[in-house]
C-alpha cells in the first residue's frame, strides 16, 4: 500500500484517546488493525521484559490502566505524545515500540524509508537519516488536517529540534506559546521545552523534523 493511500483516513484526536472516521478505502482496516496489534504486543513484551506491572507503566506514563489495557490489546493507538511517554517510562524510544528495521548505510531510498504509520492520529513519520552515532535524527512527517501529536505537550530527551514546513500549515506549541508556520517556514527550539504540533489547516502538513540527539 502506498503512503498516500495509507494516510487517507480523516482523524480527530482527543487527549490520549483517538476517534477515527471511516476511511475512504475500507480495505485499509485490516492493515490498521495489524499496526495496532503489533504495537500492543511489542509494548506488552517490553513491559514484561522490564518486570513492570501494567499499573506501574500506566502511572509512569500518566495514562489510565484501562487505556493501557486497550493499547496492549490492539484496540486503540495512543497519540504521539502518549507514545513518547510510554517509551520514556520503559527506558526506550518510540521506534522500539514498532516492529521496524533500522535504517542501514548512508543512503536511504525513498521507497525504503523505515516508517511509523500512526494513522489513527493522522500522522505518518518516516526516517530520512541513518546516523549510527545517534547524534541526529531526521524525520519526514505528514500530519493530516485536524490531527497532531495530541493535547498534552511532551519532551523526550533531545537538546534541540528544528521543524521545516515543506507544504501546508502547522501550529507548533511551545509551553503556552503557539506559533503558526506555513510552507517554507522553519523553527528551532530547545528540546527541553514541552512541545507539540497540530494541523489546523485544510491540507496535510508535510514537515521535515530534525532532532539532536536521536530520541524518537
pLDDT tens digit sequence for 134-147: 899 999 999 999 99
> pLDDT value at position 133?
85
> pLDDT value at position 6?
33
Query: Omega before 213 cis (within 30°)?
Result: yes
> pLDDT value at position 152?
86
Q: What is the pTM of this model?
A: 0.74
Instruction: Note the CATH architecture for domain 3-97.
Output: Orthogonal Bundle (1.10)
Which three cell numbers, joined as nine digits, stand for 16?
490520549
Written out in words, the top-level CATH class of the domain with range 110-212 is mainly beta
Question: How far does the chain reach from its first CA to its final CA, in angstroms?
Answer: 24
> pLDDT value at position 103?
59
CA 164, CA 151: separation in Å to the nearest integer?
A: 21
Positions in the chain short of pLDDT 70: 1-30, 99-104
**Cβ atoms within 10 A of the Cβ of 215, count?**
20
Q: Are 125 and 206 in contact (CB under 8 A)?
A: no
Cα–Cα nearest to 85, from 176, 7, 150, 162: 150
Q: What are the residue boundaries of the structural domains of the chain, listed by start?
A: 3-97, 110-212
> pLDDT value at position 106?
83
Beta strands 137-143 and 205-212 are antiparallel
> pLDDT value at position 114?
81
3-state SS assignment for residue 65:
helix
Amino acid at each position: 500500500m502506498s503512503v498516500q493511500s495509507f494516510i487517507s483516513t480523516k482523524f480527530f484526536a482527543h487527549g490520549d484517546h483517538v476517534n477515527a472516521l471511516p476511511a475512504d478505502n475500507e480495505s485499509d482496516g485490516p492493515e490498521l488493525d495489524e499496526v495496532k496489534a503489533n504495537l500492543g504486543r511489542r509494548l506488552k513484551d517490553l513491559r514484561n521484559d522490564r518486570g513492570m506491572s501494567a499499573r506501574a507503566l500506566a502511572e509512569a506514563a500518566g495514562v489510565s490502566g484501562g487505556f493501557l489495557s486497550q493499547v496492549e490489546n490492539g484496540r486503540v493507538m495512543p497519540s504521539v505524545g502518549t507514545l513518547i511517554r510510554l517509551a520514556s517510562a520503559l527506558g526506550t524510544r518510540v521506534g522500539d515500540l514498532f516492529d521496524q528495521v533500522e535504517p542501514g548505510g548512508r543512503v536511504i531510498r525513498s521507497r525504503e524509508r523505515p516508517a511509523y504509520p500512526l494513522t489513527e492520529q493522522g500522522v505518518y513519520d518516516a526516517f530520512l537519516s541513518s546516523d549510527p552515532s545517534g547524534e541526529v535524527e531526521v524525520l519526514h512527517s505528514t500530519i493530516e488536517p485536524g490531527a497532531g501529536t495530541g493535547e498534552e505537550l511532551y519532551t523526550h530527551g533531545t537538546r534541540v529540534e528544528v521543524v521545516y514546513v515543506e507544504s501546508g500549515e502547522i501550529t507548533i506549541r511551545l509551553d503556552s506559546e503557539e506559533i503558526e508556520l506555513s510552507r517554507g517556514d522553519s523553527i528551532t527550539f530547545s528540546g527541553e521545552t514541552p512541545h507539540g504540533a497540530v494541523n489546523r489547516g485544510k491540507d496535510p502538513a508535510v514537515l521535515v523534523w530534525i532532532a539532536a540527539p536521536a530520541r524518537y
